[in-house]
Amino acid sequence: MPEYQTFTLLQRHKAQLRDSVQLSSGIKLAAWFNSGDRVTNLSDHHTLSLYTADGYDTWHKTPHGWRNGGAPDRFCLMPSGTESTWDLRADLSFVHLYCTDAHLRHLGEQVWDRSPAQLTLHEKIFADDDRITQLYRHFLLSADWQQPANQLMLSSASTLLMTHLLQRYSDVQWQAPQVRGGLAPAVLRRIVAYIDAQLDQPLTLAQLAAEAALSEYHFARMFRSSMGEAPHQYVMRRRMETAQQLLKFSTLPVTEIALRCGFHSSSHFSNRFRQQHGVAPSVWRQC
C-alpha cells in the first residue's frame, strides 16, 4: 500500500486525526481537525479536501499574498507536485482523499478504455462543487469507515469522486461513456449468488466487477440498470434481510448474526437495524 506524504506531514503538525481508512485499491481517506497551525505541503500524490466544519479563518498563500475563502463544503484540489502553504488561524474540520497518478490512469483505462498521454489535475482552492459535496457527505461521511460492511460504499464513492476529477478538473475532461442496458441474466444470477455467499466478507466494488468480468464503472451502472439500485445499496439490503431471517428463524446470538451478515460488531449491526426498523434486533426478535 502506498505511503501518502500529506498524511504523514499532518501527523507531524498540530492536526488531529479523527479517522482514516485505506481501501483495497490503495486509496486512503482521512478525517482531520486542525487549528492554529501553519503547514507547507509538497507531495507526490493528489489530495482532494472537503471542509466539513468551520474553516472561515483558513488562509492560503498565493503569489499575491494570503487569500482567505474557507467555509463548510468548500473543496481544495492539490495535485501532485504542487506546493501549497496554509495558515489555519482558527478551527477547521476537513476530510482528505489521497490517490496517485496510477489510480487515475487505471480508472481512465477502465472507464474509457484508454490512457491519457498526459494527466494533469488543476489546482483548486476554496472552490464549490455540489457533486463533490454530495459524494463526501452522503456516502463517505455517513458511513463508519472501520466497518467492513461499509467498504463497498466507500470504494464506490471514491471511484465516483476520482471519475469526477478526471471529467471536470483535468486536461483530459472526457465525457462519461454511455452505458445502456443491464447485466446479462446469467451474469446477474452469478453476481447475486456470489453476494449471498460472501455476505460475511467486506465486499468491494472491484471484487464484484471482477466476478462479472467488467470494469467497476460499467459494472456499477449495469447493475443499477438491472436491479434498480446501486451495488452497495443492494448488498446492504441483503445483509439486513438475511439478518432478519436469522433473527426470526434461528436461535443464534445477535453477535453471531452480525458477523454472519458482514458487520464487524454487534453494536454496528444494532445501530443499522435500529435505523431501519426503529428498535434493536433483540427487541424485534421478541415481537
188 SS3 class: helix
Question: Measured between alpha carbons, how far is residue 99 from residues 125, 162, 200, 273 in Å?
Answer: 18, 9, 28, 33
Do residues 148 and 188 both lie within one domain?
Answer: no
Q: Look at the chain and count its residues.
A: 287
Q: In what order do the strands lie in the sheet with 124-127?
A: 16-22, 28-34, 92-99, 46-54, 75-78, 124-127
Contact 45, 24 (CB under 8 A): no
Do residues 90 and 187 both lie within one domain?
Answer: no
The angle at the Cα of 256, spanning 263 to 269, to the nearest 5 degrees, equals 35
In sequence order, the 6+-apart residues with CB closer than 8 A to the CB of 83 are 40, 41, 42
Out of 7-16, 48-57, 98-107, pick the least confident.
Answer: 98-107
Taking residue 141's Cβ as centre, other Cβ atoms within 10 Å add up to 16
As a whole number of angstroms, the distance between CA 39 and CA 86 comes to 5
What does DSSP assign to residue 127? Answer: E
pTM of the model: 0.87
Q: Which residue has the cell 463544503?
A: 73
C-alpha cell at 19: 479517522
Do residues 195 and 276 both lie within one domain?
Answer: yes
Do residues 203 and 258 both lie within one domain?
Answer: yes
Tell me the per-residue pLDDT of 183-195, one tens digit each, with 9 for 90 and over: 999 999 999 999 9
Last residue of a domain, one of 149, 169, 189: 169
* Domain encompassing residue 95: 5-169
pLDDT at 262 over 90: yes
Taking residue 278's Cβ as centre, other Cβ atoms within 10 Å add up to 9
pLDDT at 173 over 70: no
Do residues 110 and 160 both lie within one domain?
Answer: yes
Do residues 223 and 163 both lie within one domain?
Answer: no
pLDDT given at position 286? 85
As a whole number of angstroms, the distance between CA 263 and CA 223 comes to 23
Dihedral class, residue 233 (left if φ above 0, else alpha if ψ from -120 to 50, else beta): alpha
pLDDT at 116 over 90: no
- Give the pLDDT mean for 64-72: 97
CATH code, 38: 2.60.120.10
Q: Which residue has the cell 438475511?
A: 242
Do residues 163 and 182 both lie within one domain?
Answer: no
C-alpha cell at 39: 503547514
Radius of gyration of the chain (CA): 21
Dihedral class, residue 228 (left if φ above 0, else alpha if ψ from -120 to 50, else beta): left
pLDDT at 111 over 90: no
In the chain, the number of structural domains is 2
CATH code, 182: 1.10.10.60
As a whole number of angstroms, the distance between CA 131 and CA 182 comes to 25
Residue 8 pLDDT class (50, 70, 90 cuts)? very high
Indicate the residue type of 207.
Answer: Q
Residue 264 pLDDT class (50, 70, 90 cuts)? confident
C-alpha cell at 169: 478538473
